[in-house]
Chains A and B, each alone.
Chain A
Amino acid sequence: DTGVSQDPRHKITKRGQNVTFRCDPISEHNRLYWYRQTLGQGPEFLTYFQNEAQLEKSRLLSDRFSAERPKGSFSTLEIQRTEQGDSAMYLCASSHTRVWGGTTNEKLFFGSGTQLSVL
């Protein structure tokens, strides 16, 4: 396993359809993150899992979005009733933990992303 894997790489859908993306993290990483990136912006945090527990969701994650990580390994991100404003690159990342002076600092490894286009 050489990195974070995301599928599909590209998804074109019509407005109102549901889409689901998959992320396979680096195998020994217990933390998994979803980010979204739109043109001209940096990646924005959406949600985060530690093992199978979803510990935080951004206010960017509306109720049409749901993420799961059922066995603490791969994760899925589903968008229901897609809107044109959902068009973006959806990035998954995973991390291990390094300790600096008693607190943990983490280096996130990103996948290649899923580019979503909603027509």
Chain B
Amino acid sequence: DQQVKQNSPSLSVQEGRISILNCDYTNSMFDYFLWYKKYPAEGPTFLISISSIKDKNEDGRFTVFLNKSAKHLSLHIVPSQPGDSAVYFCASMEVNSGGSNYKLTFGKGTLLTVNP
């Protein structure tokens, strides 16, 4: 069962426009959410995160929005740049019985292409 779903395998946007990447999750125990960016033949690189106590977190050109009732989060990149072209993974963290989060569950990723 896919607990974290990224339903768009790919997205193409024009340089300077907004990129919106979406992610849905099913596990109500998830309470911390992260976005990772991955280039080919490299490991994922942390981009931005959000705790379930917030509905928005912003870092420069990147903003993550969380809608807990809909179990949905999105990553907005504005303005998009060609160097943003990569695979973006949504990941969620589950609280374990000790109150410490440690295991990430990833979606399948969305390939973003930003055209000059």
Q: Does B63 contact A (CB under 8 A)?
A: no
Chain B residues contacting A4 (CB-CB under 8 Å) are: 43
Instruction: Assess A42 versus B34: contact at CB under 8 Å? Given A103-B100, A105-B51, A106-B93.
Output: no
Number of A-B contacts (CB under 8 A): 72
In the complex, which residues 94-119 of chain A have their Cβ closer than 8 Å to any Cβ of chain B? 95, 97, 100-113, 115
Main secondary structure of the interface of B (DSSP, over half): strand
The listed residue (A103, A104, A113) touching B43 by CB distance below 8 A is A113
Judge whether A105 and B109 touch: CB under 8 Å.
no
Query: A40-B108, A42-B89, A42-B108 in contact; A111/B43 too (CB < 8 A)?
Result: yes
Please count how many residues in chain B sit with their CB below 8 Å of the partner chain's CB atoms.
Answer: 29
Is there a chain A Cβ closer than 8 Å to B106's Cβ?
yes
| Bound CA–CA A104/B32 (angstroms) | 10
Q: How far is the CB of A119 from chain B (nearest CB, A)?
A: 19
